[in-house]
Amino acid sequence: MSGIYIHVPFCKHKCNYCDFYSIVPASGTESFAKYISQELRLRKDYLADNAIDTIYFGGGTPSMLGTDEIEAILNVISANFRVSQDPEITIEANPDDLSLSYLIDLRTVGVNRISIGIQSFDDGDLKQLGRRHNATQAIKSVEWAAQAQLDNISVDLIYGLPYSSTKIWKDNLTTSFGLPVKHLSCYHLIFEENTPLFSKMNKGIVKPVDEELSVEQFEVLQSIASQNKFIHYEISNLALAGYHSRHNTSYWKQVPYLGLGPSAHSYNGTSRCWSPRSISEWSGAIAKGRLAIEVETLSENDRINDYFLTSLRTIWGANLAYIRKNFGNKIAGRAKETAMRYFNLGIMDVNGDCISIKPKHFLTSDGIIVDFLV
């Protein structure tokens, strides 16, 4: 099984915290679908004959595409790749782009999962983040998605905001669990370089929240999620049983994937490649029937480290038998030794060959994972 990711690099305006590649389009998005379709044809052999189990429209703002453009891209995928019987097809969306009719049309063309970039249900938070929607639109977008029978609904939220509070964070979670949401992606705010928020931090206008508040809000997340039977299956992702993101989980389980569009990355197990962070450079090459991509062949150490960096983010963890088979007894023994050290501290679980970080320690997992790297 493999996945396809399509990076849609369009936004109506750039949010204060966002570092993803995006631009405000000078005209319509019709030509973008044509370029993606051509790139699909040019790269149809990248995943060999692997069945495509997930398709993900990310961004940017994929909900700026018309449903006819989305349908055209899906048709090209079906014509050039072997798609599984029941693929997960996800689109990321902004609440203010959505209407009931648009959502019904998405469902009609084959989209069966939606990830709505709400970030907060508090109008004050939304203003500070530079979002275009308000709380009322956020709630309505989820209700419309359910009415359109897009029942696999995910919502993005951000915590650790310097101008917010734990009370507002609790209210955000309460609102989310009061809606027909099956999945939550909850990210702690990061001050990314070259963003307006990073500039404000440098000028002393805002400052990051202290560690104590971050921990408090993380614990609130886990407590309320557990009460609502959501499983914290990855550092930033929680879901009802059976509703984890199949596409993102494939990344963490090192399943090969093809990335299309400017700045998109691909992985086939032995190498990574990526397109330029420029829509003109990307589309210019495709117009000439070629690809403007860079390739990095992975060393054994790269592959070992990639495995730890991805697998230990999840409740499934890393598998020592897999490590022994693919990387040798020495690496497996070192991993077991490190895991036992954290097991004795109550931070990790060790069940047979499975080693995993306990979800209550996900917030500090980066420091733990570093100890496994070679």
pLDDT values of the chain reduced to their tens digit, one per residue, 374 residues = 899 999 999 888 777 777 777 877 766 677 999 999 999 999 999 999 899 999 999 998 999 999 999 999 999 999 999 999 999 999 999 999 999 999 999 999 999 999 999 999 999 999 988 889 999 999 999 999 999 999 899 999 999 999 889 999 999 999 999 999 999 999 999 888 888 888 888 888 888 889 999 999 999 999 999 999 999 999 999 999 999 999 999 999 999 999 999 999 999 999 999 999 999 999 999 999 999 999 999 999 999 999 999 999 999 999 999 999 999 999 999 999 999 999 999 999 999 999 999 999 999 999 999 999 99
User: CA 19 to CA 143: how far, in whole Å?
Assistant: 29
Domain ranges across the chain: 2-251, 317-374
Which residues have CB under 8 Å from 81's CB, separation 6+?
4, 40, 44, 47, 52
> What is the pLDDT, as a whole number, of residue 13?
77
Q: Tell which residue, 247, 240, 221, has the closest CA to residue 363.
A: 221
Residue 100: its H or E element: helix 100-109
CA distances for 292 relative to 59, 80, 295, angstroms: 19, 21, 10
- Is pTM beyond 0.85 here? yes
CA distance 247 to 152: 13
How many helices (DSSP H) and strands (DSSP E) are in the chain?
Answer: 14, 15
CA distance 362 to 234: 8
Torsion of CA 219, 356, 155, 69, to 10 degrees: 160
Structure tokens at 47: 């995943």
- Is the CB of residue 114 less than 8 Å from the CB of residue 157? no
Strand order in the sheet with 83-93: 231-234, 237-239, 183-188, 152-159, 113-119, 83-93, 52-59, 2-8, 257-260, 265-267, 271-274, 294-297
CATH number of 2-251: 3.20.20.70
Q: Which two tokens stand for residue 333?
A: 């023994």
User: Taking the mean position of all CA atoms in its chain, how far away is CA 292?
Assistant: 24
CA nearest neighbour of 46 among 273, 261, 288, 254: 273
d(CA 95, CA 327): 45
Q: Can you give the pLDDT at residue 28?
A: 66
**Strand, coil or helix: what is 274?**
strand
- Between CA 288 and CA 182 the distance in angstroms is 43
Contact criterion met (CB below 8 Å) for 183 and 153: yes
pLDDT for position 128? 87
